[in-house]
Amino acid sequence: MSKKLQVAIVGATGYAGFELARLLLRHSKVEQPLFLSREREPITLDEIYPQIYGEGNFPLETFRFEVLKDKGVELLFMATQHELSRQMIPEALKHGVRVVDLSGAWRLKNAENRAVYKFEDEHPAQAAKWDAAAVYGLPELHRKEIATAQLVANPGCYATSVIVALAPLVKAGLVDTEHGIVCDAKSGVSGAGKKPTQKTHFVEAADNLSAYSVFGHRHTGEILEQVGLRAEELIFTPHLLPIPRGILSTMYLRLKKSSTATEIESVLREFYKGEKFVRVFKAGTLPQIQYSVHTNFCDVGFSLADDGKRLIVVSCLDNLVKGAAGQALQNMNVMYGWSEQEGLN
């Protein structure tokens, strides 16, 4: 029997981090992960999340690079704040560890897009090196590069939902991008992370729907770079839904020439032919959050106006799975040459 992979997670106490822990604990090719914390945690992971109580011993250990070496860790998952990932990952990479980072620290190639994070790098030249080397972790677009990467930047949840829907149509030259693309996206509250804020407080979020980060959301740059759009060609507005998890993104497009629903569906199906985690719905059937929640699927559907030029595309996914932990696991499977469905069925 081949040796199992030893992995570690920094940030397993967060929503995305725990979702990743839960998936990895059931992965047949992975040893029980190490759960690491920047702070001394005198408790176990199952004390925070009793969902896994009785399945084993899950101590939270203090993070040290020596621990990675002593335990034979080959792959490190970072489910931490952007600034912390930006600070810690270069050192991990110097130790020869491969990294899948769930934060936004390394997703963006364009410095103007990256400026939204306001990073203050202690070693700018080193940071620039890894900015260039990091691979954007959307397997449906970058599978070949992910397979050999040392650093994979897991995409943002909103960005995944929008990129998967738009990329085939824009790359096929069907979309009149000069007319502009409007994306109206809505996410469950877990997308804001575990740390409570006034906006995510139950009293504020329940029975409510609110827009936020208008013309300034951090995932906008990812969409621009991965789809190949200019800033003036996209309006992206996120909204907070009063549900725990799930994303629904609605994109309003104008086509360059009149097309048929059969042509649009054919472009989408050909682009995602053989893909295990993108489901293209037949023309006129639109995805709903309830169809993809708790799965690693990104569902895509569309409706075409009678004039054949106005197109609405809808995509749905679970922000904690395909939008975070599930995609991170999918990336790991690609990196080690395993079936992408391993641990995700």
* Average pLDDT, consecutive stretches of 10 residues, N- to C-terminus, the chain (345 residues): 88 94 96 85 82 85 89 96 94 94 97 95 94 98 98 98 98 97 96 81 88 95 98 97 96 98 98 98 97 98 98 98 98 98 94
Q: What is the pTM of this model?
A: 0.95
- 3-state class of 251 per DSSP? strand
pLDDT at residue 1, as a whole number: 46
pLDDT at residue 41, as a whole number: 62
pLDDT at residue 200, as a whole number: 84
Q: Are 167 and 141 in contact (CB under 8 A)?
A: yes
Residues marked as catalytic? 157
Domains in the chain with CATH codes = 7-155+324-335 (3.40.50.720), 157-319 (3.30.360.10)
* Two tokens, residue 271: 């682009």
pLDDT at residue 196, as a whole number: 76
Does an H or E element contain 311, and which?
strand 310-317
Who's near 274: CB < 8 A, 6+ residues apart?
none
Burial of 171 by CB count in 10 Å (0-12 exposed, 13-18 middle, 19+ buried)? middle
Q: Are 161 and 323 in contact (CB under 8 A)?
A: yes
Burial of 122 by CB count in 10 Å (0-12 exposed, 13-18 middle, 19+ buried)? exposed
Who's near 51: CB < 8 A, 6+ residues apart?
22
Q: How far apart are CA 308 and CA 299, in angstroms?
A: 22
Q: Are strands 298-304 and 278-280 parallel, antiparallel or unpaired?
A: parallel
Q: How far apart are CA 28 and CA 274, in angstroms?
A: 23
In angstroms, what CA-CA distances link 22 with 18, 178, 307? 6, 44, 48
Instruction: Please report the DSSP string for 90-129 in residue order.
Output: HHHHHTT-EEEE-SSTT----HHHHGGG----SSHHHHHH
Number of H helices, E strands in the chain: 13, 14
CA angle 189, 223, 242 (to 5 degrees): 15
pLDDT at residue 118, as a whole number: 94
Q: How far apart are CA 16 and CA 98, in angstroms?
A: 19
